[in-house]
Chain A
Amino acid sequence: MEPAPSGVRLVVREAIQTLSSSEDGGHIFSTLESLKRYLSEMEPPALPREKEEFASAHFSPVLRCLASRLSPAWLELLPDGRLEELWASFFLEGPADQAFLVLMETIEGTAGPSFRLMKMARLLARFLREGRLAVLMEVQCRQQTQPGFPLLRETLLGKVVALPDHLGNRLQRENLAEFFPQNYFRLLGEEVVRVLQAVADSLQGGLDSSVSFVAQVLGKACVHGRQQEMLGVLVPRLAALTQGSYLHQRVCWRPGGASSDRAMEAVLTGLVEAAPGPEVLSRLLGNLVVKNKKAQFVMTRKLLFLQSRLTTPMLQSLLGYLAMDSQRRPLLLQVLKELLETWGSSSAICHTPLPQQRHVSKAVLICLAHLREPELRDSRDELLASMMAGVKCRLDSSLPPVRCLGMVVAEVISARIHPEGPPLKFQYEEDELSLELLALASPQPAGNGASEAGISLAPATAEPPAETPTEIVDGGGPEAQLAGFDSELDSDDEFVPYDMSGDRELKSSKAPAYVRDCVEALTTSEDVERWEAALRALEGLVYRSPTATREVSVELAKVLLHLEEKTCVVGFAGLRQRALVAVTVTDPARVADYLTSQFYALNYSLRQRMDILDVLTLAAQELSRPGCLGRAPQPGSPSPNTQCLPAAAASQPGSAVTSDWRVVVEERIRSKTRRISKGGPRQGPAGGPSRFSSVAGHFFFPLLQHFDRPVVTFDLLGDDQLVLGRLTHTLGALMYLAVNTTVAVAMGKALLEFVWALRFHVDAYVRQGLLSAVSSVLLSVPAARLLEDLLDELLEAQSWLAGWSALARSWLTAALSSWTQVILPPQPPE
């Protein structure tokens, strides 16, 4: 051994003794100065070898000793904070890894809020501010090539990433802003950029470096769920860095690639989320998907099939990334096939939540937009088969969004796969979702130019201006007279159009005046106009002459139920439905008996069966409404100009007039009356017996009787689950409307049994209906009776509901809010 190392050791031992015991400020200061020689270029300089030995062997003990001496009195041994400055410089200038570890160790080892803890925390904050983390990581990167100490690296890694947690635990409320995770990880991100840049520089300088430590830091931070902060800073910076430099690209590919398999998913998800577009993603990842199995799994399966949290732009950058390189394009085709398979699988349609299905549909459309004709041609049959299966399943679904997805996607696929054949064309509403999907389907890379959506929108927007006859003026008239037009432009505003909704086609007045005439006209009349006039007049007639209606009520209901649309009558379905409701309201017991008996009868279409359900619900609603007796016909029935002078009224058919003048008089009284205070004489709705109360059973129980007995044309538990869904909803509504009736308890009991029998039904719409039925039971049956008579059923229902939470949270909350109402004092619903 040479004498020099022992010299360093002696000096250090002596210094530590002095530091730990001496109270003389000057002495301590000079001792520290002498140690400082080993760290920096102070006079007289130490030998490099001495420096190295100090750094590797003695630095940590010195720091520990310094940390342990820290106290207010000690720092004030010298004036002006000179001692503190010198003390801090050891931590800030010495080897960063050891300083960091000692700092963390001291902070963790210091109990409770104290002067020392705060001092150390501030020092750590300063350490971070001065960019020592970057130095730390840089050193680690450089040492990578040498045989290092895995344990030390592991510890460092843990401490660097878990710093906010440690500090938060230790400092509790005193925590500094620098250590909040949202701030710290941003800073860490910036430091990582700096390190990567330094590594790239040193590679350029021919030095060996490795970024695996940085990659580990990144991976671990991402695993801790800090992708957003880290990559939010990193990705834009790296995107700029990698713009031109291939070397930088090489350096940057590594962090993704070098992450351990464990961190791969977190990092890749974060990158996909943070990348502004496929180009950036491609620059940052290179061909990682092709090289790394795990990465491939994450990118092509997990993000697409198992999760649905990616937004549309993220999906676009992910799939765009796959499409950008010839090596990756086979993957894209593969992904499309698998996506379509999932899209078309009946089990997936049945069991995956709607957002996931939407996600898959979007991904399919984006894939299609990226793929070219020849690539698609090879696997045309396969794609077509998946699509056809999917369309069938989706159109069978009872949920409108699922159907819509099926139609939109199928249209686009068929247009792409079979460009020469006749395109599939469905009728669907142009809502937000379908427009978004169609927009996705248009190829982004300047392929066909105008997108399909754009073309379909263009005529719609171009139409209105074409109709405004301003052009008539512009071209017309001799030029000499054109000058006068400008002054007229200003005065346009005074012509506010009146309501022109009453401007309908004139019908010859053949409307029957009696209910019986209507029945006759509807059954036998060959005269289409008379038939239509009878249908239009029926609702008003029924309400006006209840006695006459009761004589023919069942016959009339029968006629209406079997009524077919002979000619194209605007609003036929609504007219028929309103007439049926009117008949049911006028003679509830008999008509309801008839309708419910027909619901399970043999020769009806699904449409008619659903009409029966709708009519029953609407009629029940009408009956249960307070004070519904003798109400005026609904708007929409053919009443001529509603506001006419009394003089003119004489010639009008007298129906609407009486209520109209009352409205006019009330309006006048209101306008002439000055109210001193608000809220006095407002009286609640007039009370009265609910007419539904006595007939609720007629509406309700027959519907429950035969649901499990299929007939040839009608199998509720089989294919006709759409009707079953409607039935459950109707039963729920009837139950709800039967609130405050005596029969409600019996109805509730029966309904809960019905729900129990169907609780595992596969169709989502049916299950929704069951939930609404349960909640209406809870609403309608008085709380006391609920706990007394229905306890067993309720407990069963509760155990069933418990398994639901993941499936339909929103519906469950609705049901749960009903539960709370059970506990609260009952209030009759409005």
Chain B
Amino acid sequence: MAAPCPPPPPDPQFVLRGTQSPVHALHFWEGAQAQGHPVLFSGQGRDLKLCLWDLAEGRNAVVDSVRLESVGFCRSSILAGGQPRWMLAVPGKGGDEVQILEMPSKTSVCALKPKADAKLGMPMCLRLWQADCNPRPLLLAGYEDGSVALWDVSEQKVCSHIACHEEPVMDLDFDSQKARGISGSAGKALAVWSLDGQQALQVRGTHELTNPGIAEITIRPDRKILATAGWDHRIRVFHWRTMQPLAVLAFHSAAVQCVAFAADGLLAAGSKDQRISLWSLYPRA
């Protein structure tokens, strides 16, 4: 290692307070890049509604909402490839289904239902993505039984399925360039897995954490580092390629529920303690 004595962990750059309620989701909105849809999805509430917000020019009005059919922890995932129409994955009815909607028409394209004997439990997290070489959209879903499944949306079948956690998968993120993803669970481990040419998932390694519980995992857009939001009030930063732990940021006094990276590398974390902390770590060159 370079320094014999590691530098002390940094302090947050800013602290945003005054939300008056726990923070559940965060998203950086780069105004210049948004293409006609300056919208933010709020996590679905207990009112079984997924809302679309208009944020342009400082507005904050609900423009539309999607009616959901299940109450769960699962966040939805969108795939907006620059087309006027885009795809939305939301947890569907029956507890174990994922529903794919076409937006903004809200047409239900299909429902991804695991085989009856699979016993995956509820979907806990979803990630829609599309490989560059392949026009067919794929969906990565983490399930309650600790497994991660790769769905081919158009064929409505599971391409690959691996069990990588003991506890329910809480969040996952996928790096489509390296074909590598990471998932965190309610347990004490992070799992790194990869996708090979035959679209088969393989566990590459696990990383033990000090305290159990990961609420969200986000890989920085430049794919150099990743951050996890921990139930242990701490944000952990790892080197994405080597999974070397880089920092443990202890600032919040309650569970951290979401982390997000801005395009310029700024890290934001929202916590149950009603504060949002902003950190500048390993600035992008």
Contacts and interface: CB of A to CB of B under 8 A. Distances in A.
Contact of A498 (B7, B179, B180): B7
B232 A481 contact: no
Contact of B250 (A492, A497, A640, A645): A640
Given A477-B179, A641-B250, A645-B12, A496 B7 contact: yes
Contacts of A651: 253
Interface stretch (A466-474, A752-760, A768-776): A466-474
A645 B244 contact: no
Contacts of B202: 476
Contact of B194 (A468, A476, A491, A644): A476
A469 B243 contact: yes
A568 interface: no
B179 A488 contact: no
Interface in B206-258: 207, 210-211, 224-225, 232-234, 239, 241-248, 250-251, 253
B220 to A, nearest CB: 12
Interface string B161-177: 00000000000000001
B246 A497 contact: yes
Given A485-B241, A495-B246, A500-B6, A505 B211 contact: yes
A506 B204 contact: no
Nearest to B236: A503
A426 to B, nearest CB: 31
A357 B157 CA distance: 75
Contacts of B197: 478
A499 B6 contact: yes
Interface string A283-309: 000000000000000000000000000
Given A468-B242, A495-B239, A642-B8, A504 B194 contact: no
A496 B8 contact: no
Contact of A472 (B204, B233, B247): B204
Contacts of A481: 177-179
Contacts, number: 119
A659 to B, nearest CB: 16
A476 B197 CA distance: 10
Contact of A648 (B11, B211, B233, B285): B11
Interface string B1-21: 111011111111001000000
A493 interface: yes
Contacts of B2: 493, 496
B67 to A, nearest CB: 39
B205 interface: yes
Given A476-B178, A648-B15, A497 B1 contact: yes
Contacts of A494: 282, 285
A483 to B, nearest CB: 11
Given A472-B194, A495-B244, A641-B250, A506 B178 contact: no
A488 B250 contact: no
A500 B211 contact: no
A475 interface: yes
A496 B245 CA distance: 10
B274 to A, nearest CB: 11
A352 to B, nearest CB: 42
Contacts of B251: 641, 644, 648
B278 to A, nearest CB: 12
Interface string A420-433: 00000000000000
Nearest to B210: A503
A705 interface: no
Contacts of B246: 495, 497-498
Which of A471, A481, A494, A503 neighbours the largest number of chain B CB atoms within 10 Å of its CB? A503
Contact of B8 (A484, A485, A643, A647): A643
B196 interface: yes
A502 interface: yes
A96 B6 CA distance: 76
B248 A469 contact: no
Interface string A721-756: 000000000000000000000000000000000000
B276 interface: no
B248 A473 contact: no
A653 to B, nearest CB: 11
A497 B245 contact: yes
Interface string B181-198: 000000000001010110
Given A472-B192, A506-B211, A641-B251, A498 B10 contact: yes
Nearest to A475: B204
Which of A475, A485, A500, A640 neighbours the largest number of chain B CB atoms within 10 Å of its CB? A500
A468 B192 CA distance: 13
A376 to B, nearest CB: 46
Interface in B263-285: 282, 285
Contact of A495 (B5, B194, B210, B282): B282
A478 B248 CA distance: 32
Contact of B180 (A477, A495, A497, A643): A477
A497 B233 CA distance: 20
Give me the 10 closest cross-chain CB pairs, A-B, nearest first: A476-B194, A472-B204, A498-B247, A499-B6, A503-B248, A506-B232, A469-B243, A498-B9, A497-B246, A641-B250
Given A476-B204, A499-B9, 14 more contacts: A468-B242, A473-B241, A475-B204, A476-B178, A476-B179, A477-B179, A495-B224, A498-B8, A500-B248, A502-B248, A502-B250, A506-B211, A644-B251, A648-B15
25 contacts: A469-B243, A470-B242, A472-B194, A476-B196, A477-B178, A477-B180, A478-B196, A484-B178, A491-B224, A492-B242, A494-B282, A495-B224, A496-B1, A498-B6, A498-B9, A498-B247, A500-B6, A502-B250, A503-B234, A503-B248, A641-B251, A643-B8, A644-B251, A648-B12, A648-B251
Interface of A: 468-473, 475-478, 481, 484-485, 488, 491-500, 502-506, 640-645, 647-648, 651
